[in-house]
Chains A and B, each alone.
Chain A
Amino acid sequence: MRQEISFVEIAVIGGGPAGLCAALEAANAGARVTLLDRQDRLGGQLIKQTHRFFGSQSHRASERGINIAAELTGQVMSHPHIEALTGATVFGFYEDGVLGVEREGKIFFIKPARIIVATGAAEKTLAFPNNDLPGIYGAGAVQTLVNVYGVLPGKRVLMVGAGNIGVIVTYQLLQAGMEVAAIVEAAPKIGAYWVHAAKVRRAGVPIYTSHTIGRAYGTRQVEGAVIWQIDEQGQPVPGTEKDLVVDTICLSVGLSPLVELLAQAGCRLVYVPQLGGHVPLRDASLQTTVPGVYVAGDAAGVEEASAAMMEGALAGLHAAYSLGYNQTGYEARRAELQQQLDSLRSGPVGEKIRSGLSRAMIG
């Protein structure tokens, strides 16, 4: 079997906010970039985010995620130094840093001088009786159906998880015309920004903290769910069962970084709960323990889109610099991007990330 191997300068795996910004930053520095994404369009999770983003002007605050996605995608598609391959699945990280790619039924290999892994994260699930019934979805899945394809998965939903994703998706489901029976959150406090919670509360959605889903029920699909209060040990408090008639259950219980390619590459991984699971060890330039392999975005630690954009840009900047590009502008730009990223993480709500990152940093 004859194998074609192409040599590229920088390969960016994943075309979400981190990958798009990494590709742009590296290409603007002068490097030649190949961006690969397994979906048929770029943008990653950004293409479903109908809400306005936070942060500051440099983070595109107040712009809707969907518009940021369109802007970044447009810039990438028209950049002379970027080759964007959609529908391209990087299925393997082989010895000598060769990437195996499948696209439109064909297989080919590329050998990049630098690799930026920006593969994002996947939704976690929750164990409870009948958690496999049709009608139970990850929150991202419901977002895809509703915001990308304009299809409602059901009429009335129970949302499990009051982090930012759970509360934002609740709001989006209300906008799409679904009823939300309740949001349950196992922790004693709401994890989402309080302004997100306020929006859904005034829209009439109750939020039950220290509550969880006891079980789902239904003959062949979800017909209802029982929720109950839990004590400090996570045990159900007797007498607090509530039966909710819902046809859909949405699980928003966290994400796990997608680090398979990094594991194949031989990067040292460390388990950091605050970052969502196994993440690669990395230095200040976002390089992993395998020289030439960088990581950015949720694959480096579950955070959020604005941080992913900044991290992606930093990884792209460092990767290009390491190849000899942008020697003069590098330091100022690095300081600018790092400062913007730090400001996103510097407040009280950044405590978890900062604590997690300290366990994943080397050097």
Chain B
Amino acid sequence: MLAVDGVPTPEDLAQKIPPPERLARRPVVIAECFQPIPCDPCSHACPRQAIGPFKDINEIPQVDYEKCNGCGQCITRCPGLALFVVDLTYGENEALIKLPYEFLPLPEEGQEVAGVNRAGEKVCRARVVKVVKTEKMDKTAVIWLAVPKDLAMEVRHFAIK
């Protein structure tokens, strides 16, 4: 339970996941932000205005799944590192996750790593598809991770073996 151990329940997550039909169509951002706190940079970060707008900065972000195309520009703007792009169209058996990463060492593209879930448990093998780190991203890298499709809603981190 979030307030007790920092891990969202399936019920918490269900509210953040778009319908299967939308997931199957193209990439989309999952905003894993469950608590009304004074924070709104996500709503300013999207070039398509797919998040928000906020009438009150304490609102929980709502994503317009039709406007969102999963570009991931918002990922590095969230102070809580709570935005993840999920692409179920990536491959037949694989999904692509784009996640924020602020640790060293950075992985290499093509490297095999362990996919890690929200509780810090290794749940699968994953492959680093891309490492994006530019000046503008201000030290938050975005890692593109290929994971087994059925774990697309589980893997939110990785461990270099």
| A and B are partners in one complex rather than unrelated chains | yes
Contact surface of A with B, Cβ cutoff 8 Å: 51-57, 59, 61-62, 64, 67, 174-175, 177, 188-190, 193-207, 209, 306, 343-350
Q: Distance in Å from the Cβ of A325 to the closest Cβ of chain B?
A: 30
Q: Which of B79-87, B90-98, B128-136 contacts A (4 or more CB under 8 A)?
A: B79-87
Seed contacts A199-B81, A201-B6, A201-B120; 18 additional CB < 8 Å A-B pairs:
A52-B79, A57-B41, A64-B139, A175-B103, A175-B104, A190-B3, A190-B4, A195-B35, A196-B80, A203-B103, A203-B157, A204-B116, A205-B120, A206-B120, A207-B5, A344-B57, A346-B58, A347-B56
Q: Within the assembled complex, what's the spacing in Å between the Cα atoms of A83 and B80?
A: 37
Q: Distance in Å from the Cβ of A103 to the closest Cβ of chain B?
A: 36
A62 touches B58 (CB 8 A): no
Jot down 24 A-B pairs with beta carbons below 8 A, ordered by A. Answer: A54-B37, A54-B38, A56-B57, A57-B41, A62-B41, A62-B45, A64-B138, A174-B103, A194-B34, A195-B33, A195-B81, A197-B2, A197-B6, A198-B82, A198-B118, A200-B6, A201-B118, A202-B118, A202-B157, A204-B120, A207-B5, A209-B4, A348-B35, A349-B58
Q: Within the assembled complex, what's the spacing in Å between the Cα atoms of A238 and B37?
A: 37
Q: B36 within 8 Å of A by Cβ?
A: yes
Q: Distance in Å from the Cβ of B16 to the closest Cβ of chain A?
A: 12
- Return chain A residues, CB-CB under 8 Å to B82: 195, 198
CB contact between A203 and one of B33, B56, B120 (< 8 Å): that residue: B120
Contacts A189-B3, A197-B6, A209-B4 known; A349 to B120 CB distance under 8 Å? no
Q: Within the assembled complex, what's the spacing in Å between the Cα atoms of A350 and B37?
A: 9
Q: B156 within 8 Å of A by Cβ?
A: yes
Contacts A56-B40, A347-B36 known; A207 to B157 CB distance under 8 Å? no
A202 touches B5 (CB 8 A): no
- Return chain A residues, CB-CB under 8 Å to B41: 56-57, 61-62
Residue-wise interface mask of B (118-158) relative to A, using a CB-CB cutoff of 8 A (1 in contact, 0 not)? 11100000000000000000111000000000000000110
Q: Within the assembled complex, what's the spacing in Å between the Cα atoms of A121 and B102?
A: 29
- Return chain B residues, CB-CB under 8 Å to A203: 103, 120, 157
B37 touches A51 (CB 8 A): no
B77 touches A209 (CB 8 A): no
- Return chain B residues, CB-CB under 8 Å to A197: 2, 5-6
Q: B23 within 8 Å of A by Cβ?
A: no
A62 touches B36 (CB 8 A): no
- Return chain B residues, CB-CB under 8 Å to A198: 2, 6-8, 32, 80, 82, 118
Contact surface of B with A, Cβ cutoff 8 Å: 2-8, 32-41, 44-45, 56-58, 77-82, 102-104, 116-120, 138-140, 156-157, 159
Contacts A198-B7, A201-B120 known; A175 to B32 CB distance under 8 Å? no
- Return chain A residues, CB-CB under 8 Å to B156: 202
Question: What is the number of contacts between chain A and chain B, taking CB atoms within 8 Å?
Answer: 132
In this complex, the member of A174, A199, A205, A345 whose beta carbon has the largest number of chain B beta carbons within 10 angstroms is A199
* Chain A residue at minimal CB-CB distance from B12: A194
Contacts A196-B80, A201-B118 known; A343 to B4 CB distance under 8 Å? no
- Return chain A residues, CB-CB under 8 Å to B103: 174-175, 203
B38 touches A55 (CB 8 A): yes
Q: Distance in Å from the Cβ of A204 to the closest Cβ of chain B?
A: 3
Q: Distance in Å from the Cβ of A174 to the closest Cβ of chain B?
A: 7
Q: Distance in Å from the Cβ of B83 to the closest Cβ of chain A?
A: 10
B6 touches A190 (CB 8 A): yes
* Chain A residue at minimal CB-CB distance from B54: A56
- Return chain A residues, CB-CB under 8 Å to B40: 55-57, 61
- Return chain A residues, CB-CB under 8 Å to B45: 62
- Return chain B residues, CB-CB under 8 Å to A343: 38, 56-58
* Chain A residue at minimal CB-CB distance from B40: A56
Q: Within the assembled complex, what's the spacing in Å between the Cα atoms of A54 and B35?
A: 13
A349 touches B3 (CB 8 A): no
- Return chain A residues, CB-CB under 8 Å to B80: 54, 193, 195-196, 198-199
A62 touches B37 (CB 8 A): no
In this complex, the member of A55, A67, A196, A198 whose beta carbon has the largest number of chain B beta carbons within 10 angstroms is A198
Q: Within the assembled complex, what's the spacing in Å between the Cα atoms of A61 and B6?
A: 22
A55 touches B57 (CB 8 A): yes
Q: Within the assembled complex, what's the spacing in Å between the Cα atoms of A59 and B6?
A: 26
A348 touches B58 (CB 8 A): yes
A61 touches B119 (CB 8 A): no
Q: Within the assembled complex, what's the spacing in Å between the Cα atoms of A194 and B34?
A: 8
Q: Within the assembled complex, what's the spacing in Å between the Cα atoms of A177 and B39?
A: 29
* Chain A residue at minimal CB-CB distance from B103: A175
* Chain B residue at minimal CB-CB distance from A189: B3
* Chain A residue at minimal CB-CB distance from B159: A204
- Return chain B residues, CB-CB under 8 Å to A348: 35-36, 58
B79 touches A54 (CB 8 A): yes
Q: Within the assembled complex, what's the spacing in Å between the Cα atoms of A193 and B81?
A: 12
B79 touches A51 (CB 8 A): yes
